[in-house]
Structure 1
């Protein structure tokens, strides 16, 4: 990261009741992304939240 850019390889996704998937955000660490996913899940909505690493199969699709 010598060029001043920040890498945010961890993605949080949401899937709604109709099966539509949305990227919620990008984060620097898996712990940070998981904390966001857990917080959203704990709100009691029926959506599914999960964390994937950018570049992993299926991530960002």
Structure 2
């Protein structure tokens, strides 16, 4: 079923020092999601950020 909303198949995921994973946001393109992940990763925190497509196998 399609509700006519935007398609946002790309996720930015954050993993903290304890291994907990959180969805940071959903994005329309892989490039947009990667830009957000790179920006967050560049802030110097020890969390790990990555991009995955909805339905893709997680780490």
- TM-score, with structure 1 as normaliser: 0.86
Q: Deviations over 1:16-36 (max 9, x none)?
A: 011110000000000000000
**Runs of 4 or more consecutive aligned structure 1 residues displaced over 6 Å after TM superposition:** none
Q: Deviations over 1:2-58 (max 9, x none)?
A: 963210000000000111100000000000000000000000000000000001123
CA root-mean-square deviation: 1.7
Corresponding residue of 2:54: 54
Map 1:33-48 to 2 at 5 A: 33-48=33-48
Structure 1 regions of 5+ residues with no counterpart? Answer: none
CA distance in 2, matches of 1:3, 1:39: 31
* 3-state SS, counterpart of residue 43 of structure 1: coil
Structure 2 regions of 5+ residues with no counterpart? Answer: none
